[in-house]
A and B are shown apart, each in its own frame.
Chain A
Amino acid sequence: MNIRFKTLSELKKLLETKEISSCELVSETFKNIASSKTNSFITLDEERSLIKARAFDEGKIKGDLAGIPIAQKDLFCTKNLRTTCGSRILENFIPPYDATVVENLNAAGSICVGKTNMDEFAMGSSNETSYYGTVKNPWDFERVPGGSSGGSAAAVSEGLICAATGTDTGGSIRQPAALCGITGIKPTYGRASRWGMIAFASSLDQAGTFARNAEDCALLLNHICSHDTKDSTSISDEQENYLENIDDDLKGKKIGIVKEFDISNLNKEVQDSFEESKKIFEALGVNFVEVSLPNIKLSVPTYYVVAPAECSSNLSRFDGVKYGYRAKNINNLEELYIKSRSEGFGDEVKRRILIGTYVLSAGFYDAYYKKAQQSRRMIKNDFMEAFKDVDIIMSPSSPSSAFKIGSKTEDPIEMYLEDLFTISANLAGVPAMSIPHGFAYGLPIGLQLMGNYLEESKILNFAHQYQKNSDWHIKSPNLEEIS
């Protein structure tokens, strides 16, 4: 049976009606992965996946996601399965424990077939900083899939897998979801546990997921999110069933359009798609209201102080002593630190560690880090004010569609501006998602829906109603044409 491009819910039904066995599903998945040319995976786990599939087929595994193959971003620690975080420094790292998100998805019965490619330590918007090679966008092999969760997005987009986890520190789920034409969601900061996620910027990092539609994302979030005492910023509020309100009527609800997001200078197709999407919501009885986020222009500079500062601190743990890469021919301990780190990290990671070290150094701390934390509060306050008037806020997910591999690697700032629309949700900590809503230059683009704290259900409801009234999420790349 051809399982490519089937949704999670469709596969679940096929397993329930025994039209397919989990063993067939898993074998077919590995066959598709083997013939793929996108470089979406870093490490595969075929043998253990088949053992789990057999156990499911024998009725030994139960759960909401039982028997379904999924993929994990290579940033989540997976017990006894290599976890590289896209870096040379963790080339041989085999975690002795599972991340809580992984544990949760395993407990629901899903089968992790492998670890997806990503920008090194999640630092990048194109997947080009991975030590394990760039991922190709399934819609056009000369273009990037976005990043940092580029492998997860490409694998779902190419139909290799129906769902994959991701992490989002500044847009790392939403931007690749947009560029690969799939659905991706980042819940509220703290809703999913960070335990076992290799840390980049701890006050921004958040786990989430990619799937072929909003309904599947809701089902996955039901398991990804949990309160976890092992994560000190984990939210203890009761967790909703994200599927419960997904069919709610949108009549009379309000979407905010951000006054300060000037889309008039973006590609005409991006603008047209945005207008078309507004019409779809209007037909469902939604009203549009202009909202103001006066400090939104400070998002990218604020982020490029906060994120590197936290990264320089987090990545100081990689020193070649307890785990990870150790340089050879060393004379003393300091040389061991310096050489292991210099040989183990790639250029973008070094760049960010250096910026972080600079902004945190004596004499500069107040001018940069404290200032950025103050501007972060101003951005958060703007969101709180805006959500008094509207249910959700809508914007494009990224400035344009996928760009050519290599076209933005020379200028880091140009690359940083890829996350112009996504970064503010991380700074404020609010949930946000991207759904496919059109094409620019023949390639998919995404629509971003942002919600208030813990209102994942609301953005999923809007996304699901949109997808019931449009077909962008059903479109898939013509793999024969491009291979």
Chain B
Amino acid sequence: MDNKTIETISYLARLQLGDDKKEKITKDLENIINFVDELQNIDTDDIAPLANPLEKIAPKREDSVTSKSRKEAFLLNSPESDQNYFIVPKVVE
């Protein structure tokens, strides 16, 4: 786990690590990855991955409207909104 890897995954996760925390978090991640590396030693040939304990397939339903729009209620929680829109910094120059 080198600096470059940390920088790449931090960017992928859209997180910025403060300089004071970077060293500690890098060390922690390295330890955790070493810890889970135990999994590399097991024989998993012919074992199908298990994504969900019940192995349920998402149920289908009719494509119909089930709840009415509550735009106002949801916009109330936005940090910044204007009428029907969420406001963000300018994206297109």
Contacts and interface: CB of A to CB of B under 8 A. Distances in A.
Nearest to A367: B40
A27 to B, nearest CB: 31
Interface string A386-423: 00000000000000000000000000110010000000
Given A337-B14, A345-B15, A354 B9 contact: yes
B50 A371 contact: no
A292 to B, nearest CB: 16
A476 interface: no
B51 interface: yes
Interface stretch (A46-54, A153-161, A229-237, A268-276): A229-237
Chain B interface category by residue count? 35 or more
Contact of B15 (A189, A354, A373): A354
Interface string A322-344: 11111000111111111101100
Interface in B49-88: 49-54, 56, 58-59, 61, 70, 73-74, 76-80, 86, 88
Given A323-B77, A336-B89, A354-B25, A373 B31 contact: no
Chain A interface category by residue count? 35 or more
A302 B39 contact: yes
A66 B17 CA distance: 48
A350 B70 CA distance: 32
Nearest to A358: B9
Contact of A412 (B16, B28, B42, B52): B28
Contact of A378 (B28, B32, B47, B53): B47
Interface string A289-306: 000000100101110110
Contact of A374 (B15, B49, B88): B49
B74 to A, nearest CB: 6
Contacts of A203: 51-53
Interface string B9-37: 11011111100010001001101110111
A341 B14 CA distance: 7
A470 to B, nearest CB: 32
A368 interface: yes
B46 to A, nearest CB: 9
A375 B78 CA distance: 41
Interface in A358-382: 358-359, 361, 367-368, 370-378, 380
Main secondary structure of the interface of B (DSSP, over half): loop
Nearest to A318: B14
A470 B13 CA distance: 50
Contacts of A243: none
A415 to B, nearest CB: 11
B38 A301 contact: yes
A374 B44 CA distance: 6
Interface of A: 92-94, 96, 189-190, 203, 229, 232-233, 235, 295, 298, 300-302, 304-305, 312, 316, 319-326, 330-339, 341-342, 345, 347, 350-351, 353-359, 361, 367-368, 370-378, 380, 412-413, 416, 427-430
30 contacts: A96-B77, A189-B52, A189-B54, A190-B56, A203-B53, A229-B61, A295-B42, A301-B35, A304-B32, A312-B13, A321-B88, A323-B78, A324-B79, A332-B89, A338-B15, A342-B15, A351-B28, A351-B29, A354-B25, A358-B29, A368-B36, A370-B49, A374-B50, A375-B42, A376-B49, A377-B50, A378-B44, A378-B47, A429-B53, A430-B53
